[in-house]
């Protein structure tokens, strides 16, 4: 038992994870391609460790060459552009209200943005679905 513990201590090494870095400066709203990233053997806290999780995603902010890419810096590609007219749905207790709204921001599936109801000109907060519609919930 002591011998096994001694061997484990002698051969133990710190756990290291690779960190994904931007290979070039990537402007915001650009889809990330495999040639846009490099994997560095250094561990950088907060940096993405698996390159497959961000390939095909969209840069939410400018990503600078040689700097680590963080999970909050990328997101799903936008399906709604700012000022786009989109379907606005509200559903609760069997009541469904659908109308048109104007997106007040750019968003991808799952993002929460403000949408202006075109009929009433009131602004609501809604989550964008994969179909590009806005879903209001309480």
Residue 1 has pLDDT above 60, yes or no: no
Q: What is the pLDDT of residues 53-65, one digit of tens each?
A: 999 999 999 999 9
Do residues 90 and 96 make contact, with C-beta atoms less than 8 angstroms apart?
yes
Residue 92 pLDDT level (bands cut at 50, 70, 90): confident
**CATH classification at residue 109:** 2.30.30.760
Determine, yes or no, domain membership for 41.
yes
Task: Give a yes or no: residue 4 inside a domain.
Answer: no
pLDDT of residue 138 exceeding 80, the answer is: no
Are residues 70 and 117 both part of a single domain?
no
Q: What is the average per-residue pLDDT within 73-79?
A: 91
CB 20 within 8 A of CB 39: yes
- Is the pLDDT at 3 greater than 70? The verdict is no
User: 134 and 126 in contact (C-beta within 8 Å)?
Assistant: yes
Tally of structural domains, the chain: 2
Please give the residue range of the domain that contains residue 126. Answer: 85-136
CATH (domain of 21): 3.90.1210.10
- Do the domain assignments include residue 112? yes
Answer yes or no: are the C-beta atoms of 54 and 48 closer than 8 Å: yes
pLDDT at 125 over 50: yes
**Is position 9 within any domain?**
no
């Amino acid at each position: 038992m002591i011998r096994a513990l001694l061997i484990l201590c002698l051969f133990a090494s710190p756990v290291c994870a690779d960190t994904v870095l931007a290979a070039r400066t990537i402007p915001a709203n650009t889809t990330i391609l495999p040639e846009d990233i490099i994997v560095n053997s250094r561990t950088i806290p907060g940096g993405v460790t698996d390159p497959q999780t961000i390939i095909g995603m969209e840069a939410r902010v400018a990503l600078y060459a040689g700097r680590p890419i963080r999970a909050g810096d990328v997101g799903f590609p936008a399906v709604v552009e700012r000022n786009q007219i989109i379907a606005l749905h509200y559903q609760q207790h069997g009541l469904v209200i659908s109308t048109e709204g104007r997106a007040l921001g750019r968003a991808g599936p799952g993002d929460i943005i403000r949408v202006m109801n075109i009929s009433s000109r009131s602004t609501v907060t809604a989550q964008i679905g994969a179909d590009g519609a806005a879903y209001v919930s309480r």
